[in-house]
Amino acid sequence: MNFPHRKMLLVVLCSLLMSALTGCSGKSDSPLYLESNRKGGEAEAPVKDVATDILSTQKAFSNVSKKVTPCVVNISTVSRKKIVQPFFEMNPFFEDFFGAPQTRRDKSLGSGFLISKDGYIVTNDHVVRDAESIQVKLSNDKVYDAKVVGGDQKSDIAVIKISAADLPAAVLGDSDKLDVGQWAIAIGNPFGLDRTMTVGVISATGRSNMGIETYENFIQTDASINPGNSGGPLLNVYGEVIGINTAIVAAGQGIGFAIPINMAKPIFSQLIQKGSVSRGYMGVTIQPVTEELAQSFGLKHTRGALVNDIIKGSPADKAGIRQGDVITALNGVEVKDPSHLQRLVAEAGIGKSVRITVFRDGKALELGLALANADSAPKRQRESGGGGQQDGGADLLGLVVEDSGQGLGVVVVETVRGGAAAEAGIRRGDLIVSINRKRIANSAEYERAISSSRNGNLTILVRRGDASIYFALRVK
Q: Which of 274, 304, 335 is the last residue of a domain?
A: 274
Q: Nearest-5° angle of CA 138, CA 139, CA 141?
A: 70
Q: What is the pLDDT of residue 87?
A: 47
The domain containing residue 439 runs over which residues?
A: 399-474
Q: Are residues 352 and 405 in the same domain?
A: no
Q: Are residues 340 and 416 in the same domain?
A: no
Q: Which residue has the higher pLDDT, 392 or 109?
A: 109
Q: Are residues 284 and 248 in the same domain?
A: no
With respect to residue 64, please indicate whether it lies within any of the assigned structural domains: no
**Nearest 5°: phi and psi at 66?**
-65, -40
Question: Out of 125, 152, 156, 337, which one is annotated catalytic?
Answer: 156
Q: Are residues 359 and 424 in the same domain?
A: no
Cα gap 108→287, rounded to integer Å: 38
Question: Out of 126, 152, 325, 443, which one is annotated catalytic?
Answer: 126
Q: Are residues 296 and 368 in the same domain?
A: yes
User: If you average pLDDT over residues 294-300, what whole number do you get?
Assistant: 80
With respect to residue 100, please indicate whether it lies within any of the assigned structural domains: yes
Q: Are residues 425 and 410 in the same domain?
A: yes
Judged against a pLDDT cut of 90, whether residue 425 lies above it is answered with no
156: annotated active-site residue: yes
With respect to residue 137, please indicate whether it lies within any of the assigned structural domains: yes
With respect to residue 332, please indicate whether it lies within any of the assigned structural domains: yes
Q: What is the pLDDT of residue 380?
A: 45
Q: What is the pLDDT of residue 28?
A: 55
Contact by Cβ (8 Å): 449, 440: yes
DSSP helix/strand/coil, 144: strand
Question: Out of 230, 339, 404, 443, which one is annotated catalytic?
Answer: 230
2 pLDDT band, cuts 50/70/90, is low
Q: Are residues 247 and 302 in the same domain?
A: no
Q: Which of 162, 189, 206 is the last residue of a domain?
A: 162
User: If you average pLDDT over residues 99-103, what whole number do you get?
Assistant: 56
Cα gap 185→256, rounded to integer Å: 12
Give residue-wise pLDDT tens across range 305-349. 888 778 888 899 999 998 888 999 999 999 988 888 988 888 887
Q: Are residues 267 and 285 in the same domain?
A: no
Q: Are residues 184 and 211 in the same domain?
A: yes
404: annotated active-site residue: no
Q: What is the CATH number of the domain that holds 317?
A: 2.30.42.10
With respect to residue 14, please indicate whether it lies within any of the assigned structural domains: no
Give residue-wise pLDDT tens across range 126-168. 999 888 899 999 999 999 999 999 999 888 999 999 999 999 9
With respect to residue 386, please indicate whether it lies within any of the assigned structural domains: no
Contact by Cβ (8 Å): 159, 268: yes
Contact by Cβ (8 Å): 209, 216: yes
Q: What is the CATH number of the domain that holds 197?
A: 2.40.10.10
Q: What is the pLDDT of residue 48?
A: 83
Cα gap 205→256, rounded to integer Å: 12
Give residue-wise pLDDT tens across range 374-406. 777 665 433 333 334 444 456 778 888 888 877
Q: Which residue has the higher pLDDT, 456 or 68?
A: 68
With respect to residue 187, please indicate whether it lies within any of the assigned structural domains: yes
Q: Based on the structure, what is the number of domains in the chain? A: 4
8 pLDDT band, cuts 50/70/90, is low
With respect to residue 382, please indicate whether it lies within any of the assigned structural domains: no
